[in-house]
Structure 1
Amino acid sequence: MQRLFLLFITCLISTWGYAQYPEEDPPEPILKIGGALRFNYNLSTWKEDQLERGGDFGYDVFRINVESEYKGIKLNAEFRHYSQAFGGAFLKQGWFQHDLSERSQIQVGLNQVPFGIQQYNSNNWFFNITYYVGFEDDHDMGVKYIHDSGRWQWQAAYYKSAEEFVFGLAEPSPNRYSYDITGRNKENNQLDFKLVRRLGDSLAHELGASLQGGLLYNLDTEQNGTRYAAAVHYEYKPAYSPWNVKLQAMLYRMNPQYAAGEDLNFVEMGAYGANYNVASKGEMYTASLAYHLPLDTRLLQGITFYNNYGYYNKRVSGFENTHMNVLGALFTAGPMYIYTDAAFGYNQPWLGPEWTNALAFGTPGDTDWHLRFNINMGYYF
């Protein structure tokens, strides 16, 4: 795979010369800086002390976004600063980009993995269950090629690793934005391919298929295991209609090379400063429906109502399955976006008292639905 990667890079670099600008007429440099400040309120039914306080309201994140372009080379980066308990400061995304033509581009760096519905397989602040197992808005370190002709789009990518913040044989840090495999395994040499077909006069219907395959390097055995995933999806997102529909089905398998005697039925995954266990194989089915109501008032410009559901079928004997449903609304007020969510979870680590094994063993015989009421308000600039 590494030889293929070097060959891929050499071929791409050789194409850059076709987009050079005349020395007597260089383009003006472009620089755009933006960001957001967000605060969060939440009330969780399984936290008795929080119920007595009436919930908690505090700092969520401050972020800076930078977009730049000069002489055919673009930059896109986003740096986030959460509280120390949620991982502190880290790069969410960041890549160099060169447009090979009006329809194709190459991205190098920490970019979004082309898998499933993009950019999000959800409408709410919590994402869908796919996010929590590393298959929604995931960003990894590598090279991605995108070709989009309108009715057809295809993406091909090679990722050397996930967000690599700790080099060498050390365990991957969970201080990151998107969920990746951590603990005693490291993501390594991943290939992705995604194909999209858009239908209808307005291209409002999108059908897609995604494939992913890669290695898992175990720090104890110093051997590579394997992993793969596949997904099909449908999205309805017309420009003229207030409705949005997202449907996706996917499966994945992970086969790490653990040391003798270790449990082979789960892997560790981490983000936002903490790890938990995830079943080594399973399927996920998600369905999302949203409706946007435009408004013309002094304060509000629109409300988007949504319901996002996800079902996680763990293919490991004795593991309890996971359900997640988020019912809510997004209020748009000038530069402010306010997500109001009622998030229900069943064996979901962020939506229940069990953290470490909610996405692995679950809590057999003692599982209940739990509710987290959440308001996230952000000022985007």
Structure 2
Amino acid sequence: MQKNALNSGISLILLGCMGTPVYAADLKIGDAKTDLGELSVSGFVRAKYQDKSWSDNDHKLSFDAAKINLDYKSPKIFGHLEYRCYQFDKLCDFSTLVDAYAGYNFNENHLIQAGLQPVPFGPGRFWESNYYGGIITQIGLEDVHNLGLKYQVKFDTGTQVELAYFTGDGGKYSGPYADDASRYTTNFVKPEDSSLTHLDEQNMFITRVQQDLSGLPEGMSTTLGASYWYSDIKNKTNGQTGDRKAWSVFGNVAYNDLTFGLTAGKNDVDNKDPMTPQASLMGSFDDNFMVANEGMFYTADVSYTFKNVGKLDAVTPYAMYSSYDKSEKGFKNSSRNLVGVAAYYKDLSFVAEYIVGKNDFLIGGPSDSYAAGSDTDTHELLNLQVYYNF
């Protein structure tokens, strides 16, 4: 009941933002440099047009999503809330909390934050520069937001260390199709089919170390890093406890307006399930799907920003390679590759992306795409979006 009330209340705020012109200068109260701090509101409203090689149902421009952020900043205390709503069949029929955390700055190099927040695994919240995202978001390792505590320290040598503990996931919210999969982050979920095993991830210990390199040519910056994830996987069907062990290494290089990122790692889940030991049920965005328990993952991303192109503020073409290479013999790999371009004009953003997926459930693949992967064909999606940012 409380989550449904929260869904309704924030959906009304989002609808209000959609119906009333707003400007960034009008959405801030206070001063972040004072003890009272600053409260700000931001977000976007997004429309889309999609052409799918596997369907003829989306050849129309329609409302897609809206996001609202509430941020508080002061010299010592800060907080952040992000809420989103999406349209599947009708306006905001799927809505979900993404972040809700508060933190404290001990000084400019040390902070602690608690609540529903991004898991510090991989190079950042997003591993690529595109808008649709990579396939590792469906594996539950990228753009993950769970409930916990994080401590961060920065050193004068350019080293940043993050240590985090998460008690569990961020819970379910409101959607028209699935029950426990009505969430933003891909988590282990309660099955709707009683023959499947119910898994729950708890006690997540995450560490990430990043190093900025010095002594590089003018205009170049480089960051190298690694992260490790260990958690308990509670098998709520048979009462046993398995684990997840995942690691990643990553590097990001920027030279003037050119950026390149590469992430690689391994996912290894022991679900203590004698029926399906090779795969586990996960879910997000109101869908359930099986995911292979063990595999290597790779994401490569490149982008270049052209500034002040005609009347446009910037134009950014980009490309991504993303794959999950499963260890189980006979399982077919999953991949999502993308080329696109984004253009920016004042508060508007225009996005055009061509996406090719193979054994990718979101790009026309079968229900077993991220597990055994029975598809032998690729599928294509043309994704056109326009954002109003406030």
Q: TM-score range by the shorter chain?
A: 0.7 to 0.9
The answer to whether the 8 A contact 1:164-1:172 is kept is no
CA distance in 1, matches of 2:126, 2:83: 19
- Asked whether 1:284 is paired with 2:297, we answer yes
Specify the code of the residue in structure 1 equivalent to 2:155.
S
2:159 equivalent in structure 1 = 152
CA distance in 1, matches of 2:73, 2:335: 43
2:265 counterpart (250, 264, 271)? 250
CA distance in 2, matches of 1:41, 1:251: 35
- Asked whether 1:43 is paired with 2:51, we answer yes
Task: Please show how residues 1-381 of structure 1 align to structure 2 within 5 Å.
Answer: 27-47=35-55, 49-50=56-57, 55-69=59-73, 72-83=76-87, 88-149=94-155, 151-165=158-172, 173-183=180-190, 184-201=198-215, 204-238=221-255, 241-258=256-273, 260=274, 262-298=275-311, 300-354=312-366, 356-363=367-374, 366-381=375-390
Deviation of the 1:325 alpha carbon: 0.6
Specify the code of the residue in structure 1 equivalent to 2:67.
R
Query: Deviation string for 1:338-369 (max 9, x for gaps)?
Result: 22100001111111241x21111111xx5111
1:20 equivalent in structure 2 = none
CA distance in 2, matches of 1:149, 1:56: 51
The answer to whether the 8 A contact 1:172-1:182 is kept is no
Specify the code of the residue in structure 1 equivalent to 2:203.
N
The answer to whether the 8 A contact 2:172-2:181 is kept is no
Specify the code of the residue in structure 1 equivalent to 2:278.
N
CA distance in 2, matches of 1:251, 1:326: 22
CA distance in 1, matches of 2:124, 2:95: 25
What SS does structure 2 have at the residue aligned with 1:98?
A: strand
The answer to whether the 8 A contact 2:85-2:94 is kept is yes
Identity of aligned residues (%): 25
CA distance in 1, matches of 2:93, 2:213: 42
Specify the code of the residue in structure 2 equivalent to 1:108.
A
* Residue 207 to residue 70, structure 1, CA distance change in 2 (3 Å): closer
CA distance in 1, matches of 2:365, 2:172: 30
The answer to whether the 8 A contact 2:258-2:304 is kept is yes
CA distance in 2, matches of 1:353, 1:190: 30
The answer to whether the 8 A contact 1:87-1:174 is kept is no
Gaps of 5+ in 2: 1-33, 191-197
The answer to whether the 8 A contact 2:125-2:144 is kept is no
Specify the code of the residue in structure 1 equivalent to 2:201.
E
TM-score normalised according to structure 2 size:
0.83
2:5 equivalent in structure 1 = none
Query: Deviation string for 1:42-76 (max 9, x for gaps)?
Result: 101111x34xx7x2321211121101146832210
The answer to whether the 8 A contact 1:87-1:272 is kept is no
* Residue 87 to residue 316, structure 1, CA distance change in 2 (3 Å): farther
CA distance in 2, matches of 1:172, 1:265: 24
The answer to whether the 8 A contact 1:141-1:162 is kept is yes
Q: How many residues align?
A: 340
CA distance in 2, matches of 1:79, 1:101: 29
Deviation of the 1:125 alpha carbon: 1.3
Deviation of the 1:222 alpha carbon: 2.2
